[in-house]
């Protein structure tokens, strides 16, 4: 169940923003990513119709490596981690049920956790760095 939850979180992240994109994307890649997102949605929700939108607002200055400082003890990482971040958008305020676990110079809420369950979220791409992959592996082992 926990691994399924992680997969759904990753899928939701990929399908809702920054879908598999990188700075070298062409127009064809963006169309392909929309088709992949719609196909994934259809696999998860066969009775619903996917709504896919493409948004391109120009270049982003914040793409690249980022060091995340861990703010408190948790089950998925102990030390500062180096990750890949590909956007300058961030959640600016958390509801009371979400606890900030990690922050960077670019974002105050890089890693968050739901206070009562083992539900975590990130505002970076954990799949694109060694430390991020280690974070995913620790989560899967919970």
CATH number at residue 92: 3.40.50.880
Q: Which domain holds residue 126?
A: 64-140
Q: Does one domain contain both 30 and 84?
A: no
- The size of the chain, in residues, is 142
What distance in Å separates the CA atoms of residue 112 and residue 119, rounded to the nearest whole number?
8
pTM: 0.60
118 within a domain of the structure (yes/no)? yes
Question: How far is the C-alpha of 65 from the C-alpha of 85, rounded, in Å?
Answer: 6
Burial class from Cβ neighbours inside 10 Å (0-12, 13-18, 19+) for residue 99 reads middle
User: In this predicted structure, what is the pLDDT of residue 28?
Assistant: 74
Indicate the SS3 state at residue 85. strand
Q: What is the pLDDT of residue 62?
A: 56
Is the domain of 134 the same as that of 99?
A: yes
Residues 133 and 96 in one domain: yes
Q: What gap in Å lies between CA 95 and CA 121, rounded to an integer?
A: 13
At 2 the pLDDT is 43
Query: Does residue 56 sit within a domain?
Result: no
The reply to whether 6 and 36 lie within a common domain is yes
Predicted local confidence at residue 92, as pLDDT: 79
Domain count along the chain: 2
Give the residues of the chain that fall short of pLDDT 70: 1-27, 29-30, 33, 50-63, 87-89
């Amino acid at each position: 169940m926990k691994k399924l939850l992680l997969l759904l979180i990753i899928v939701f992240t990929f399908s809702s923003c920054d879908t598999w994109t990188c700075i070298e994307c062409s127009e064809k890649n963006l169309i392909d990513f929309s088709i992949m997102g719609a196909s994934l949605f259809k696999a998860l929700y066969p009775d619903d119709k996917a709504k896919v939108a493409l948004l391109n607002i120009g270049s982003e200055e914040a793409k690249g490596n980022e060091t995340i400082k861990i703010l408190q003890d948790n089950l998925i990482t102990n030390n500062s981690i180096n990750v890949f971040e590909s956007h300058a958008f961030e959640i600016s305020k958390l509801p009371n049920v979400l606890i900030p676990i990690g922050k960077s110079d670019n974002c105050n809420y890089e890693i968050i956790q739901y206070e009562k369950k083992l539900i975590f979220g990130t505002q970076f791409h954990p799949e694109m760095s060694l430390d991020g992959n280690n974070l995913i592996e620790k989560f899967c082992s919970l």
